[in-house]
């Protein structure tokens, strides 16, 4: 309630302004045009499944793809890492997968309430991965830092791109607007999948290597996803 005369006056003026619709009188012609245009392609549609079902679908595909790709790849990282490193990193990356699945599912439905806003998802996942690597893995590096590292970055890219295509196919029924957020959410989910596979595959289980070549590449890929999302002006 307005607590002063000026506030009451403003409230009154706003009410009058909102109630008067001089600019919003829809011409009969426009209304008829819109109705005719839409009626010509009016067919029954099946509404999207519930939010929880969408999230579950993403998570099942995420888990299946991770398990499938890990199974066909070398598992040196899995054998070299300690039990603590494996458990914590798996938990952190699975958490990232859950958060990005939420973010992507919510973006498929316009005007829906975001349980986890994307900046929060990005920050929490980023902190989790960086913190986990920094605290769990030894801080030592070899002289062949670059030559050991770039194959990992290429491998991450090779896994993340097809994964992004798979998630894009799953999400295409939603009303994903061409925007940075949708690209980042999609890219994030694909990148977490790639990071999980790489964590089990990579033979260089040292913090500098993991931070630069795994997490660094992940950040670049998510950024690229956001840029591609913003650049693709996909009309709903």
Q: Applying CB under 8 A, which of residues 34, 87, 91, 231 lies at the interface with another protein?
A: 34
User: Is 78 near another protein (CB under 8 A)?
Assistant: no
> Roughly how many angstroms between the first and final C-alpha of the chain, as a whole number?
40
User: Is 13 near another protein (CB under 8 A)?
Assistant: yes
Alpha helices in 144-179 (DSSP H): 145-171
| Euclidean distance between CA atoms 236 and 232, whole angstroms | 12
CB of 93 to another protein, least distance (A): 26
Closest CA to 95 of 124, 117, 118, 67: 124
Q: Applying CB under 8 A, which of residues 72, 111, 135, 143 lies at the interface with another protein?
A: 111
CB of 12 to another protein, least distance (A): 10
176-201 burial, b for 16+ CB within 10 Å, e for fewer? beebbbbbbbbbbbbbbbbbbbbbbb
Q: Applying CB under 8 A, which of residues 63, 157, 175, 180 lies at the interface with another protein?
A: 175
Alpha helices in 73-117 (DSSP H): 76-80, 83-107
Q: Applying CB under 8 A, which of residues 42, 72, 135, 144 lies at the interface with another protein?
A: 42
User: Is 3 near another protein (CB under 8 A)?
Assistant: no
Positions touching another protein (CB under 8 A) are 6-7, 9-10, 13-18, 21-27, 30-31, 33-35, 37-39, 41-48, 50, 108-114, 117, 173-175, 177, 179, 181, 233, 235-236
């Amino acid at each position: 309630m307005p607590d002063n005369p000026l506030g009451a006056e403003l409230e009154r003026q706003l009410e009058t302004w909102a109630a008067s619709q001089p600019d919003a009188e829809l011409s009969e012609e426009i209304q008829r045009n819109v109705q005719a245009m839409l009626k010509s392609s009016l067919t029954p549609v099946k509404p999207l499944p519930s939010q929880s079902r969408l999230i579950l679908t993403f998570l099942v595909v995420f888990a299946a793809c991770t398990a499938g790709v890990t199974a066909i790849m070398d598992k040196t990282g899995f054998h070299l890492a300690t039990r603590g490193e494996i458990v914590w990193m798996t938990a952190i990356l699975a958490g990232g997968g859950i958060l990005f699945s939420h973010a992507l599912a919510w973006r498929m439905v316009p005007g829906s309430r975001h349980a986890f806003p994307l900046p929060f998802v990005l920050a929490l996942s980023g902190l989790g991965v960086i913190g986990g690597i920094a605290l769990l893995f030894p801080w030592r590096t070899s002289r062949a830092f670059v030559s050991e590292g770039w194959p990992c970055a290429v491998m991450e890219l090779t896994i993340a791109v097809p994964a992004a295509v798979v998630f894009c196919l799953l999400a295409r029924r939603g009303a994903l607007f061409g925007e940075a957020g949708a690209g980042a959410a999609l890219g994030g989910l694909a990148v977490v999948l790639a990071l999980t596979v790489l964590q089990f595959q990579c033979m260089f289980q040292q913090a500098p290597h993991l931070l630069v070549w795994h997490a660094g590449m992940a950040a670049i890929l998510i950024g690229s996803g956001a840029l591609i999302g913003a650049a693709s002006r996909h009309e709903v």
